[in-house]
Structure 1
């Protein structure tokens, strides 16, 4: 295990995790836990930046996200899982960082701009939402994270974190924090079932790890394919066809996928048959996850204990980090 590098990643508990999370980050986390000191944070405070009026939703989904982590193979003996709101040092560090970044810089953050647009925020944007890149910087640096698994759309967040780190170290004359490096997933953003945007809880176009077989089948059968492919014998388009995009990602039998693509282009392969094949591929993938998740859910107290124990471990790390911060800033009055 390479203790000189620390992995930090996490998810907002606004719903159970979906296939986009699975290929985008969860598989990476399962592999990385055997190579590095890894922390996974459930970002409940960040979830409140656009769910402040529904805290119960966020609270309920902490357990759902935790069950998803454990069911895909995240091992609490190898990975420390913690919840953001129970680490008050993160909030304290966020307040200190806010003095090191301007409002204009936050408004220019491409990720923030894109998410504000998707949520139709203008002048009504909550201050907490606008400043969440600063909170993310505190999330990363409170454990001195050095490698952060992200999608390409999150690269501006890592850039902003490193700007804050450089400012802090320069202003206070001490190398308290290391800069972080992004580890970009090999699989890009997974499109939604409708083919119009990324797979997302808010857009209602996602397949969840917790979906049962019937729900999975209904979702697959509703997937966007080629609107011009009206009859089985008609040639079909592969490009923009969500069924083939998913097969490229999830089917390990690449020769079979190539054969299906050829047949579809030539004509003679119907969408129903093609979707049924994808359903079987995805159901084979999700069945063991689904079964393990159901077993874990029988004892949610034990599952919650995993989170509480991990959080307590991080409290100790966070307290040590803040001792260094206060010393560097001459705030150590004891």
Structure 2
């Protein structure tokens, strides 16, 4: 299956990104034709005032992808803004997309509410789903891995495809199907959403010592005062990390020992730190093998492949729009 997905380069990736996105990407690439792109234009839709070094952040993002197990030999990795056909198709799709579709998008309304501290009443933010549609259909993606909150965006994408085909009489694009990603929702170490702005995240690039220094401060059962007090793992943040990152036998033992008061919180955190270390150590080793020149070469190779495919698609699109002819 042809699969397309992207990620915005807004900072270092953390465990939440791995569990929510990258772990799934690593599995998908094994049996599918995958294209993963650095969504730097999308980053500007909400972070245009932050003067981010998007080129450096994009390279760092690709490093994290490869460190996490994304294989450039099996997946095409490229930068959105390096393939100008994304913008070309975005302009054309904007010409035919009804404003009401975008204004009624529940994700748009939710994010306006959640990001009231930012000035995001912009055309770019409103038309985010149109650019997302261009990103997907430019490569005839059959499947798009998304979370539940992205379902409205993908439905808009399908509606835009149908409208284009109806208006221009050419069935050029594939209607993308959603691939809902089962995610383990992992909160930050302070119980809030995991975010760099809250300084509560464990990053994929953290050292062993950094992981432990962060984890030792994590919230546990507030009712547990002494080491031998029975605890309730269901209200313990560290146990959520165990469920996401430790093996089943360890999870069951921690659950039983905590309820019996047979393990203290520090010992529980040390076991959790070991589970995190098993995940991050191979990532550090792969990252250490990547220098800037190698990453640049991987990205340029992916950009070239994406440009070739995108140019072929835009030739067909422009034929339908400007010549009223189908190139099948």
Deviation sequence 1:57-96 (CA, Å, 0-9, x none): 3222111101111112211111110100011111111111
Task: Write the mapping of 1:184-263 to structure 2, written as runs, cut at 5 A.
Answer: 184-197=180-193, 199-252=194-247, 254-263=248-257
Residue 302 of structure 1: aligned partner: 294
Residue 313 of structure 1: aligned partner: 305
Structure 1: distance between partners of 2:161 and 2:318: 15
- TM-score w.r.t. the length of structure 1 is 0.91
Structure 2: distance between partners of 1:193 and 1:115: 23
Deviation sequence 1:199-235 (CA, Å, 0-9, x none): 2334433211111112111221122222222221222
* Counterpart selection for 2:266 from 267, 272, 289: 272
Structure 2: distance between partners of 1:184 and 1:241: 28
Which structure 2 segments of 5+ residues have no match? none
Structure 1: distance between partners of 2:67 and 2:281: 11
Task: Write the mapping of 1:53-202 to structure 2, written as runs, cut at 5 A.
Answer: 53-120=49-116, 125-197=121-193, 199-202=194-197
Residue 23 of structure 1: aligned partner: 19
* Structure 1 position 268, deviation (Å): 3.4
- TM-score w.r.t. the length of structure 2 is 0.93
Deviation sequence 1:22-81 (CA, Å, 0-9, x none): 122212222222211110010011111122234443222111101111112211111110
Structure 2: distance between partners of 1:72 and 1:181: 25
The answer as to 2:5 corresponding to 1:9 is yes
Provide the alpha-carbon RMSD of the alignment: 1.9
* Structure 1 position 126, deviation (Å): 2.4
State whether residues 82 and 310 of structure 1, in contact with CA within 8 Å, keep that contact through their aligned partners in structure 2. Answer: yes
> Could you say if the C-alpha distance between residues 227 and 68 of structure 1 is closer, same or farther in structure 2, counting changes exceeding 3 Å?
same
Structure 2: distance between partners of 1:215 and 1:205: 12
* Count of residues in Structure 1 that have an aligned counterpart in Structure 2: 325
> Could you say if the C-alpha distance between residues 294 and 123 of structure 1 is closer, same or farther in structure 2, counting changes exceeding 3 Å?
closer
> Could you say if the C-alpha distance between residues 155 and 293 of structure 1 is closer, same or farther in structure 2, counting changes exceeding 3 Å?
same
State whether residues 147 and 181 of structure 2, in contact with CA within 8 Å, keep that contact through their aligned partners in structure 1. Answer: yes
> Could you say if the C-alpha distance between residues 110 and 119 of structure 1 is closer, same or farther in structure 2, counting changes exceeding 3 Å?
same
Which structure 1 segments of 5+ residues have no match? none
Residue 317 of structure 2: aligned partner: 325
